[in-house]
Amino acid sequence: MPWKARLSGSDMTKLLKGFQPSEMEQKWVIAASGPDDKGIVDVHLCRSWTSYEIYTVRVRVLPGQDGKPGDAEKHGGEVFEILYETSNEFNNTCQSEIEDMAVGLCRGFLGVELGKGPERPKPPVKHHRR
């Protein structure tokens, strides 16, 4: 799902560092891959027991003065997409729940605020006739 949130250099450093659980109750591992030559970083949010990836937060390192991807800590970045597992296990999960979970995991384990995603239209209000 498309996303747009600016991240400070400090937040980019936290995303790149990730999170390793120190006890069984911490059921998530967060690990980053990248940045690649286009400045794209994939932050993988995985279940700790199975290493099964549930969410991927995609981030672009902001460009330096030369227009090329800059230093993540110095220039910061921008979240542009959140991907999620689409197996049968998640078929009944609505998009806002998925977003809330990915945002909450990054906030809780890394102290990084991913902001709010794109505005979605509100469902129509149903009026009941009497």
- Quickly list DSSP for 55-119: EEEEEEEPB-TTSSB--HHHH-EEEEEEEE--SGGGTT--HHHHHHHHHHHIIIII---------
Does 130 fall in a domain?
A: no
How many domains in the chain?
Answer: 1
Q: Which helix (H) or strand (E) holds 42?
A: strand 40-47
Q: What is the mean pLDDT of residues 104-126?
A: 76
- Tell me the mean pLDDT in the region 37-58: 93
In a domain, 34, yes or no: yes
Residue 42 counted as domain residue = yes
How high is the mean pLDDT of the chain?
A: 85
**Residue 56: inside a domain, yes or no?**
yes
- Residue 127 is assigned to a structural domain of this protein: no
CA distances from 96 to 4, 6, 50, 120 (A): 15, 20, 25, 9
* Distance in angstroms (rounded) separating the CA atoms of residues 59 and 4: 9
State the distance between the two ends of the chain, measured CA to CA, in whole angstroms: 40
- Tell me which residue range forms the domain holding 85: 2-110
Rg (CA), the chain: 17
3-state SS assignment for residue 47: strand
- Residue 129 in any domain: the answer is no
Is the model's pLDDT at 124 over the cut of 60? no
| Count of beta carbons in the 10 Å neighbourhood of residue 129 | 3
Choose between 124 and 50: higher pLDDT.
Answer: 50
pLDDT beyond 90 at 116: no
Q: Does the residue 120 lie in any domain? A: no
Q: Is residue 96, in this structure, part of any structural domain at all?
A: yes
Model-level pTM?
0.82
